[in-house]
Amino acid sequence: MAGGNREPGRTVTSKVLAVLEAFEKSRGALSLTEIAEGSGLPLSTTHRLVAELTDWGFLSRSATGRYQLGIRVWELAQNTGRQLREAARPFVQDLFSLTGETSQLAVRAGNEVLYIERIYGTKRVPRASRVGGRLPMHATAVGKVILAYEEEWVRDAYLHRELEQATAHTHTNPRRLAQELVQIREQGYATTLEEVRLGSCSIAVPVFHTKRIGAGLGLVLASAQSATMTRHLPVLRGVSAQIERATAHIPLESLLGLSRR
């Protein structure tokens, strides 16, 4: 076994990424033993890699000896989708100012949506994600609207996956979801009701870039507002058009700055 780990042929890069991924799974401070267990690496290998990552600032060690992600990870993460985030931020702020509701912008990252900008309102609405957070596309309005306008092969591949059941209201039937995506393309927007968090609903419109889907722009509201949330469509569509115009000169791949495989 390469490097004395449990998996033959495992590279140093894969070991380092496994250590960092252990924190994604736990979302909290971890002991050295917990990092080893979470990464599937021997304790000796974990000790060496954690020490190096700490020296580089990718991990930090508390007074109790537990580790958490360091400031360098946050600094690097700020470059993800940076051009889109910086170009769109004033318009997302406008969306919040005009609606008073939690406003967000998300892009597709593999089979998930990645939130690159979010402005929270003061209303008590359950929070499902944060800037830099990810959620399944089929459970969110921004995800559904992106998926609806993606290429056919992307939709087909997604619908053949096992669809996560976030709540009892999440649409996980592939046939039903396929029909919903057709409806979203026809009406030009997507909605959800307690599909990712109980107590919340959402609505989203597409943000296009050179006639291709680039992102999803949406609002998150309390479930009690689900019957009237379409009243925000004129503002959502207007802000989407502004973002499209503001980013038209930037190549889509450069704009996103992340993998869409």
Closest alpha carbon to 39 in 17, 68, 25, 18: 18
pLDDT tens per residue across span 166-191: 899 999 999 999 999 999 999 999 99
Q: 71 or 13: which carries more pLDDT confidence?
A: 13
In b/e form, how buried is each residue of 130-147, taking b as 16+ CB within 10 angstroms?
ebeebbbbbbbbbbbbbb
**Cβ-proximal residues to 220 (8 Å cutoff; 6+ apart), any chain:** 101, 102, 104, 125, 128, 200, 201, 202
As a whole number, mean pLDDT of residues 110-115 equals 88
What is the structure's pLDDT at 2? 38
pTM of the model: 0.71
**Tokens 């033993």, residue located:** 33
